[in-house]
Amino acid sequence: MTRITIIDGHPDPNGTRYVHALADAYAAGGEAAGHEVRRIEIAELDFPILRSAGEWRDNAPAAAIHKAQTDIRWANHVVILYPLWLGDVPVLRGHSVYLLRCRCQRVGETSRDRRSS
């Protein structure tokens, strides 16, 4: 059985968006085939904007980011769906910065904690 994490990268939570329909169809197909499926809905995540290198280095990730990191680590198959607006990815860029920061540290842990252990 495959563990699938679907990242729905559409910034609008309106369920009628095409990207949401793709994520729904992919999840339904995976579940119908007997796979475990988790979803990360970018439009529903609540996380602050990083405004300085110090915040990147010293602050632990928000709980929503930690959960997303955990879901990505759990998966052995990751699907990333997103719209293209004027040839660019509207929201995924900021989210991916958070997901990749501090090598998926634990909630409450800072990058400084990881260096000292």
**What fold, for 3-116?**
Rossmann fold (3.40.50)
Closest CA to 72 of 7, 1, 2: 7
Tell me the per-residue pLDDT of 7-22, one tens digit each, with 9 for 90 and over.
Answer: 998 888 998 999 999 9
Amino acid at 4: I
What pLDDT is recorded for position 98? 63
Distance CA 68, CA 65 (A): 5
Residue 73 main-chain phi, psi, to 5 deg: -60, -35
Contact indicator for 23, 81 with CB cutoff of 8 Å: yes
Condensed to tens digits (0 to 9), the pLDDT of residues 26-55 reads 999 999 999 999 999 988 988 887 788 888
What are the residue boundaries of the structural domains of the chain, listed by start? 3-116
Token pair of 79, please?
A: 């699907």
For position 86, what pLDDT does the model report? 66
Please state the pTM of the whole predicted model: 0.77
